[in-house]
Amino acid sequence: MLQTVAAYGLLLAALVVAWFFDRNRRTDGLFRDLLLIAVGMLIVSTVSVEADIGWGNFFLLGFVLAAAVAVPYLISRFVFKDRVIRFRWRGGWPWSRVQWGYLVLVLILGWTILPFYFISSGVYLNWPFVTEWHEIARLFVGVNAVGTWDELFFILTVFVLFKRHFPTWQANILQTVIFVSFLWELGYQSWGPLLTIPFALLQGWIYSQTKSLPYVLTVHLLFDAVVFLVIVGARNPELLVIFPFAPGV
């Protein structure tokens, strides 16, 4: 409870400072853009983001996360008459050899590092034990849906809004703080930040270079595909044979 109050207090303080800076013409539109980020974060804070694939939470969390992206976008587009938040599903083609090579590297790193992280730290227990086909299907959809939302909110909303007021590297650090905090609550705990911090920074940097939502989304979903297999495999050790570097459960 105390942490929640402190978090809301910091959010309010940031908005007050931004309003003060705008009023004194030290910044231009900082309050407006921080307000959009705050709205999205407040919407997310109305529910627990801990992994729960029960039918009720499955649809509730899906609705809340969708609203956390849609509401800031609609306010920006139709109230502020702004187009800074854009979901670029096209463009960024063709991908270079370096980009294709990075996708291969992502799979290799995910295949070698993620099983060790999830199993040695025990964080796989933060996800539900699934046995039935429909539970496994919901877990797969949930993991990929949240991964997609991560890019739409943290990169194409938060990062893009921060970039209007800060140098790219500073904006990237700011979005990473929020991104990694969310992933911690989701279940990437223990020494997870050693993985999630560079991942979030790279996603922001890649988008700043490519302006390609399909590419950063592909990177993320490749990681999530491995995450899904590790979570299922950790609960069913006979499946871990596909991960040669996975420790015993």
> Of 141, 124, 126, which Cα lies nearest the Cα of 55?
141
Question: Residues 171, 204: contact at Cβ < 8 Å?
Answer: yes
pLDDT greater than 90 at residue 247: no
Span 83-111, average pLDDT: 91
Domain count, the chain: 1
Residue 149 belongs to a domain: yes
**Is 236 inside any structural domain?**
yes
Q: In which domain, by residue range, is 33 found?
A: 2-242
Mean pLDDT, range 183-192, rounded to an integer = 94
**If you compute the radius of gyration of the chain from its CA atoms, what whole number of angstroms results?**
19
- How far apart (Å, rounded) are the C-alpha atoms in residues 86 and 152? 9
In terms of pLDDT, which residue wins out, 123 or 133?
A: 123
Query: Is 248 part of a structural domain of the chain?
Result: no
Residue 216 lies in a domain: yes
On whether residue 249 sits in a domain, the answer given is: no
- The reply to whether 148 falls in a domain is yes
Range with lowest mean pLDDT among 111-115, 198-202, 231-235: 231-235
Question: Which amino acid, 140?
Answer: F
Residues 96 and 140: their CA atoms lie apart, in Å, by 29
Whole-structure pTM over 0.85, yes or no? yes
Burial of residue 95 (CB within 10 Å: 0-12, 13-18, 19+) is: middle
The tokens for 170 are 């500073």
Which tens digit of pLDDT belongs to each residue from 40-49? 999 999 999 8
118 in any annotated domain: yes
**% of residues, the chain, pLDDT over 90:** 78
| Structure confidence at residue 249 as a pLDDT band (50, 70, 90) | low
